[in-house]
A and B are shown apart, each in its own frame.
Chain A
Amino acid sequence: MQAFTRLTGVAAPIDLANVDTDRVIPARFLRKPQGSAGYERYLFHDVRFAADDSERPEFVLNQAAYRGATILVAAENFGCGSSREAAVWALMAYGVRCVIAPSLGDIFHQNCLKNGLLPVILAVDVVADLRGQLHARPGATLTADLQTQTVTAPDGAAHRFEIEAFARQMLLTGQDEIALTLGYEPQIRDFETRHAAAMPWLLLR
């Protein structure tokens, strides 16, 4: 997994609440291998491109100032719906490494953490203010710093965010989570023996 420490980049505002992962990447692209050629075009495909493949000028990432944004500042419940991790893969393929929102879909939130994309939860009024600044100053940059757990807004204000210690550590080091867990093998084996003895109906074969 790619580590995440600190990022300064152009941020794009996404004002709509409840942006679902079907919108982030439509189902018909889920058969495309992660990272295959053109993967970044699947991101927000049906709201980003018209039927003839031309860009829809009203979509935020098609506007010159926000093009190539590496941070999204979204609204409530961004990434709700389907568990498709391809939503995160498409964001990463485009270059997005941080999503800031008042809340995120629970599974999407986990998927971000497993891929080195920093999910930042801030109060709803703070996030609304950030989006307001990005609208007022298109192309403005934000800084997300995982070491200090702060987001620095275009106006210079620093906002502290909370993140679970475990997730923070994994992101900072970019550690392979499976390798970490395999270090718990003795505990897993002990548990397995006790569990099967206490609840023999759990065995299937």
Chain B
Amino acid sequence: MIEVLIPILAGTLAAATPLIYAGLGELVAERSGVINLGVEGMMLIGAVAGFAAAVETGGGAGVGFLAGAAAGTLAALCFAVITLSLAANQSAAGLALTIFGIGLSAFIGQHYVSHSLPGLKPVALPLLSSIPLIGPVFFKQDMGVYLSFVFFGIVWWVLAKTKLGLMLRAVGESPESAHALGFPVFAIRYGAVLFGGAMAGIAGAYLSTVYTPLWVQNMSAGRGWIAVALVVFATWKPGRLLLGAWLFGGVTILQFHAQALGVRLPSQLLSALPYIATIVVLVLISRDRKLLQLNLPASLGKSFVPGR
């Protein structure tokens, strides 16, 4: 039984990793009141930048992650200038960023189509990896997976335990009040959006330099959209986001294993499950006004123009 479970659970963790990176970034942006639908585009830009950097420098995934983060940040900066400084509609700008990212990454990537990278070998953490079941599942992964746990810890801690997190949440709830209190609303929102871009870029770089270490156009194949859905599914809470990413990642792996074992499952339906689950959660939290107000950043998607 354990022999069957380990590849399923270990595979789930790896499949969830890009979702965790991109989802955490989007969660922080949304908690500051900015919805960025450009995650898919930023992921692709990060993926191609990370891959190109890793190929050109021969520096491997580490260089790829840095380049991916930088490229994602730049893409998010464009979005931030348009939506924050120029107060343009966030949904429209985000969609434009996705379309732009798909095109730009394909354009940059055409020279890299036939390259391949070595990827990252799994690193077994001493002692921890010898715990039965939990060891091989959690502690025999690649560094990209471990790093996503570190980022999860940081985001959770900053949001829940620090003054910065409190200010970020205040800005997301009511930028007017935060502004009146003297909080730097624009700086915080810029910071949150750029962080979101960096994380989406890392998510893309994880795909192109570690998970499937190659560049092919459109290789994120909708994972950016799943990350956006995941933030809603998680009701803007990092812990639930982690669980949601494992659930969404796990569904695919589980149904593949079921298929190979000859268990009949409606695989088309299971592929749609992340989206169905998100809609169900949306319906549930929308029914309960209190629940909705408790979680949804009240100013989400609204531009802030001081003094208006």
- A and B together in one complex: no
A interface with B by C-beta (< 8 Å) = none
